[in-house]
């Protein structure tokens, strides 16, 4: 499991304040394997590349205090990739799929170790998938560039870039800060994108782009570039998922509910709990009857001791079924199945007023 721990919120000159930190420790994994929690994908032509962990000599970030201290270099576990594909439209990326980030600071050390084509390496952020994201990439041709990829098309000509030395076989550090629609990009601790303007305060500088408000982070390269990544961490402000906000509102509005769970298909035919009054249920797999509710619009009723459980379909603003809602309610003497279902439908309609699409529930 990747190291995950929480920090006290702090404020600095950075765009965003962080409340939690994820540290990617590649040493937890056996060499030659792609770490879990990541998806190897590709933008453009060709097949996904093989991203693996292996040992590499990495110098320390701080120079030794005295000449007697030695170089203190040591082998470390790093993330590495090199695709055999020479196509310049072939861009392998590795997305971390376990978290969606809004405001964050992403930092990583990287090294471009080779490649026949123009060797490049970088990070992606606010990624929706392999075809839609922001990228900050460095090139040994001597430049650093931020741009958007939308629908698989790279908008490099409308990006922001600078001419700056990025030597091969040297460990460098990239940092991206995002807050709202604003972003800043650093190389080795210095703000380089957007470039400073004479007379403008540094704190006022930021790229302002509204294409993507949230998304995944990951690593990026092009063609056959050989790249390594090390000492990667993300400081971020955790957000309450939209569906959990809706659940909290419904729970407050209907205090007699004993339980409430929302199931949706994150992959076809595999419903899981995406929203629940009891957060321990999140991610739990559904059963066949939840799948029947989603696929066929069925309604299920179950009588329990002193309670009833009703599962009904949830529909989006177009009337399409996007999820299954399971409610558990106290029963009363003489309550019929029809009466119990009617009570569940009241809750169902209150939730449907808050959702527009399935994506609303999944983010």
Q: Each residue's pLDDT tens digit in the chain (363 positions)?
A: 444 433 333 333 456 545 789 999 999 888 999 998 899 999 999 999 999 999 998 998 765 555 555 556 779 999 999 999 999 999 999 999 888 899 999 999 999 999 988 899 999 999 999 999 999 999 999 999 999 999 999 999 999 999 999 999 999 999 999 999 999 999 999 999 998 776 666 666 899 999 999 899 999 999 999 999 999 999 998 877 888 888 999 999 998 899 999 999 877 778 999 999 998 898 889 999 999 999 999 999 999 999 999 999 999 988 999 999 999 999 999 999 999 999 999 999 999 988 877 777 776
CA-to-CA distance for 350 and 344, rounded, in angstroms? 10
Residue ending a domain, choose from 206, 236, 266? 236
What CATH number is associated with residue 202? Answer: 2.60.120.560
Same domain, 131 and 248: no
Q: Which domain holds residue 196?
A: 3-236
Residue ending a domain, choose from 210, 236, 262? 236
CA-to-CA distance for 265 and 250, rounded, in angstroms? 22
8 A C-beta contact, residue 38 and residue 216: no
Same domain, 267 and 128: no
Same domain, 50 and 144: yes
Same domain, 187 and 42: yes
Same domain, 39 and 59: yes
Same domain, 61 and 164: yes
Residue ending a domain, choose from 194, 216, 236? 236
Give the per-residue pLDDT at 19.
Answer: 77
Same domain, 84 and 200: yes
Q: Count Cβ atoms below 10 Å from residue 73 Cβ, excluding itself.
A: 10
Same domain, 248 and 301: yes
Same domain, 126 and 268: no
Same domain, 171 and 296: no
Same domain, 202 and 272: no
Give the per-residue pLDDT at 360.
Answer: 73
pTM surpassing 0.75?
Answer: no
8 A C-beta contact, residue 188 and residue 181: no
Same domain, 200 and 342: no
Give the per-residue pLDDT at 14.
Answer: 52
Give the per-residue pLDDT at 82.
Answer: 95
How many structural domains compose the chain? 2
């Amino acid at each position: 499991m990747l190291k995950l721990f929480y920090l006290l919120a702090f404020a600095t000159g950075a765009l965003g304040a962080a409340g939690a930190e994820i540290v990617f420790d590649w040493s937890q994994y056996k060499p030659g394997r792609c770490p879990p929690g990541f998806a190897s994908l590709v933008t453009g032509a060709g097949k996904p590349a093989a991203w693996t962990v292996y040992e590499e000599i990495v110098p320390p970030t701080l120079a030794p205090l005295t000449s007697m201290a030695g170089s203190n270099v040591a082998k470390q576990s790093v993330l590495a990739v090199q695709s055999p594909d020479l196509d310049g439209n072939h861009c392998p990326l590795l997305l971390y799929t376990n978290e969606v980030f809004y405001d964050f600071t992403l930092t990583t050390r990287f090294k471009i170790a080779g490649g026949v084509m123009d060797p490049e390496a970088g990070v992606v952020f606010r990624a929706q998938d392999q075809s839609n994201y922001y990228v900050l990439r460095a090139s040994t041709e001597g430049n650093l560039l931020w741009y958007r990829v939308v629908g698989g098309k790279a908008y490099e000509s409308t990006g922001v870039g600078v001419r700056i030395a990025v030597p091969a076989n040297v460990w460098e550090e990239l940092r991206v800060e995002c807050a709202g629609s604003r972003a800043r990009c650093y190389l080795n601790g210095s703000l380089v994108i957007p470039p400073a303007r004479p007379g403008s305060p540094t704190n006022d500088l930021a790229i302002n782009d509204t294409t993507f408000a949230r998304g995944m982070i990951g690593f990026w390269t092009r063609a056959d570039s050989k790249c390594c990544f090390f000492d990667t961490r993300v400081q971020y402000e955790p957000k309450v998922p939209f569906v959990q906000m809706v659940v909290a509102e419904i729970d407050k509005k209907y205090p007699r509910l004993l339980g409430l769970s929302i199931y949706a298909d994150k992959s076809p035919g595999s419903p899981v709990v995406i929203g629940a009054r009891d957060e321990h249920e999140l991610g739990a797999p559904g059963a066949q009857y939840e799948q029947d509710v989603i696929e066929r619009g069925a309604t299920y009723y179950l009588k329990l001791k002193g309670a009833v459980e009703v599962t009904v379909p949830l529909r989006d603003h177009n009337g399409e079924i996007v999820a299954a809602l399971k409610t558990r309610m106290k029963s009363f003497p003489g309550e019929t199945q029809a009466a119990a279902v009617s009570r569940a439908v009241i809750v169902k309609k209150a939730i449907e007023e808050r959702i527009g699409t399935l994506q609303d529930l999944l983010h």
